[in-house]
Structure 1
């Protein structure tokens, strides 16, 4: 694929390799760092991805076993009754034991290509685990930022409503002096009530974010309320972030690497389907012994054996084998274009994140100036209103504008942190520490076979059941 030499988004001046390891720690928030570590250890999607890896590794071992010979043993004991013409019937026992062995010589590599495909499938699940961790770390950081954002918005609304209630109180006191009318009082109280109405919606979003954080940590909702209850500032990222070059996404993004491994797996399956069109050669052998006395097996018994090659040639299969190759090639094409799509999608994510982060920084600078100006205007308008120099409308307008500017500034701070998180996710930043795939954490007491306590009774019950 033709990739650009650098990102087109303006402001991405740092083309050095991005520092993706533990990127969230550069937000300098110990609580967030602790939440990320707990999420990696307890998240249920991560646990599912680990189970998928264990399944894929077991599948690889299963496929590899097809390259080795197989040996099976058998034994039997029967009670027979026979009669030679003119003699009395004879009842005797017959014991038999034997071994069978077979080994398919993988002449054209069908089994080897199957092992190869299974190995690639194992690598796909490993990359999918890394991709799950990228998503998990990003989601934990995003919901943490959102929770802090709505904490600040709730506190702002409460402060602003209190200030607006104070304005309404001053207005009521001026009614007796004939300076204002009841219409002015109603307007002041209505503006305070409008601001207070924002508080429940902010609290709802805050609770939703904390509940989602708890679920990401594999816990019940609201279990993090005690940890998050105390308000903290929104984490603020460093002023400069290295984005590298577009080619970095090929090696840094686990979803792109997984798509490439899926393409490799599909290609190996083409070779497996092609090999199935050629003859197969197997070596088979068996040895059996039989006797009328159990102690005579292998000694005074009848012993027979056989050994030799077996060739199987697919002469006519109705075009099924050729069609299987065409199916495998079509699937290869699907994964080829899926790989290209994943690369383009990754580049799109990075370009969007760079642009959004840069524009959010510019927006915050303007909103900070705006909030500072409206804060001064609000203070001056109250002083002039108390002195009778201006009417209530100017005071209410200044308070409303200040509340809006400060709300927008808080949201812009959260946007910067959110876009910083999105950029690191787009670049492929995730958990860089060790991940223990380990054994299954499930302790199942009902995994073994169920032995029949009374097989004969079960057969009788089956015989009595209506057909």
Structure 2
């Protein structure tokens, strides 16, 4: 935008500056940000042909699992998790950066003061006389960049988007945290159930093995029968340490997620508990909902806005800039005379800076900013697609796992009947003992699969709510720093 200043207008420098400030306050260069409007399908792929689903109920979704222990763990994790604490600090950093950038839009002022002692010597008649004088000086300096082309305004705009992005980063961190706490809690209950099953089954198999040894002594069983009975009991008992390891790892991970030592929850969870069971129907809404509900998608959109503003910031550096500068100074031989008998001088006027040749650096900086913006635009598109993929996978997994669980429960029930009948028929001499062992092995495997499937249903339910964007919607205090500094006023340095 060309600027013409004519000497015959009769305006003073102050008036010229005022006119410029008034007419160019809203002037900016570079692209204005527009929120992307990606094309979204009208329904989830797995819901094709069905009536539109209701909006998902994402607020405190984990409470649908009806497990008070899990509810308490999630609240504790939100309060003390270290990743959440880091995200809070990033919000404080972003807010401070925004305040810093807004300050560039305002004038700056500073005061100065000085005192100088002068000695003057004069040689007369072979002697040297000296005179001393003291000069005190006080002043006031001020400057204001008019921001003709919106460079500082765009910088503040980018910083504001940065605050929004930091807020979404915190929400995304809490969403991930809640999902992780719920998932590891389900794993802990799953491995407890599998361990208890292995213990019960191994105890029953040991009883069968003991009876087989008695029958072997009586001549009604073979050595093969006793060997296989012992092998089956040993194999089942070997599963117990494996489940103990997996259980301990899940509990230790939960402790760390709560920002505490790994063994913190061992006493609290060792009593056992049921595997959480979600309600049958889960509303999933429509794909467009994730643009609003997913914090990672909103984060990508805010980052795109932030880096779009940075293009304009770099573009503004290629245009002229005008600053208003002025100062008032006063000098006197004594401090008391500064305000009365002092000499006072002042200067005021605009300073025009025009970039003429920078070796292509300014244009290159704009190209860099545009390339960064393109990367964040692609990242936003990727976030949307990944979010849709997460939801689609979770819907299919939850639906199919429920069907699988129903079949496994029926299978387990049938194998239990088969095991009971095999024992009865073996005592009657109708079937071989190897049939009994085979029935016990099949029953143990079926019950094991049913427990794992029930845990998978809970895990898929958690994954679906995460994919839909369900997270923490309560109040979060981000203002309190983790480290409280003391003795920050001027003080003597302490020896190290």
Normalising by the residue count of structure 2, what TM-score does the alignment of the two structures yield?
0.89
* 2:314 is equivalent to residue 273 of structure 1: yes
The structural deviation recorded for 1:386 is 2.0
In structure 1, the partner of 2:100 is: 62
CA distance in 2, matches of 1:159, 1:453: 66
The structural deviation recorded for 1:448 is 5.3
In structure 2, the partner of 1:310 is: 351
Alignment RMSD, CA only? 1.7
Verify the 8 A CA contact 1:10 1:355 in the aligned structure 2: no
In structure 2, the partner of 1:414 is: 455
CA distance in 2, matches of 1:448, 1:3: 56
CA distance in 2, matches of 1:353, 1:448: 55
1:292/1:235 Cα in 2 relative to 1: closer, same or farther (>3 Å)? same
The structural deviation recorded for 1:14 is 5.8
The structural deviation recorded for 1:447 is 4.8
1:191/1:10 Cα in 2 relative to 1: closer, same or farther (>3 Å)? farther
Question: Larger deviation: 378-387 or 365-374?
Answer: 378-387
The structural deviation recorded for 1:95 is 1.6
Return the match for 1:362 from 391, 403, 418.
Answer: 403
Verify the 8 A CA contact 2:183 2:459 in the aligned structure 1: yes
User: In the comparison of the two structures, how many residue pairs are matched?
Assistant: 454
Return the match for 1:144 from 160, 163, 185.
Answer: 185
User: After the TM superposition, which residues 81-120 of structure 1 pair with which residues of structure 2 at under 5 Å, given as runs?
Assistant: 81-83=119-121, 88-120=129-161
CA distance in 2, matches of 1:396, 1:203: 25
In structure 2, the partner of 1:248 is: 289
In structure 2, the partner of 1:342 is: 383
Unaligned regions of 5+ residues in structure 1, if any? 455-467
SS in 1 for 2:46: coil
In structure 1, the partner of 2:392 is: 351
CA distance in 1, matches of 2:120, 2:390: 83
The structural deviation recorded for 1:180 is 1.2
Return the match for 2:336 from 295, 319, 326.
Answer: 295
The structural deviation recorded for 1:150 is 0.5
1:349/1:453 Cα in 2 relative to 1: closer, same or farther (>3 Å)? closer
In structure 2, the partner of 1:459 is: none
1:445/1:425 Cα in 2 relative to 1: closer, same or farther (>3 Å)? same
CA distance in 2, matches of 1:56, 1:27: 36
User: After the TM superposition, which residues 227-266 of structure 1 pair with which residues of structure 2 at under 5 Å, given as runs?
Assistant: 227-266=268-307
The structural deviation recorded for 1:13 is 6.2
CA distance in 1, matches of 2:334, 2:355: 45
User: After the TM superposition, which residues 72-221 of structure 1 pair with which residues of structure 2 at under 5 Å, given as runs?
Assistant: 72-83=110-121, 88-221=129-262
Residues 357-382 of structure 1 show CA distances to partners (whole Å, capped at 9, x for unaligned) of 01100110110010000001111111
CA distance in 1, matches of 2:303, 2:356: 32
User: After the TM superposition, which residues 327-406 of structure 1 pair with which residues of structure 2 at under 5 Å, given as runs?
Assistant: 327-406=368-447
Unaligned regions of 5+ residues in structure 2, if any? 1-37
CA distance in 2, matches of 1:377, 1:256: 52
* 2:62 is equivalent to residue 21 of structure 1: no
The structural deviation recorded for 1:438 is 2.1
The structural deviation recorded for 1:299 is 1.7
Normalising by the residue count of structure 1, what TM-score does the alignment of the two structures yield?
0.94
Verify the 8 A CA contact 2:328 2:347 in the aligned structure 1: yes
Residues 93-128 of structure 1 show CA distances to partners (whole Å, capped at 9, x for unaligned) of 222111110001011110000000000000000000
CA distance in 2, matches of 1:183, 1:393: 9
The structural deviation recorded for 1:73 is 1.1
SS in 2 for 1:222: helix
Runs (4 or more) in structure 1 with deviation over 6 Å come to none
Verify the 8 A CA contact 1:14 1:242 in the aligned structure 2: no
CA distance in 2, matches of 1:228, 1:451: 52
The structural deviation recorded for 1:453 is 8.9
CA distance in 2, matches of 1:52, 1:316: 38
* 2:94 is equivalent to residue 53 of structure 1: no
Return the match for 1:5 from 31, 42, 53.
Answer: 42
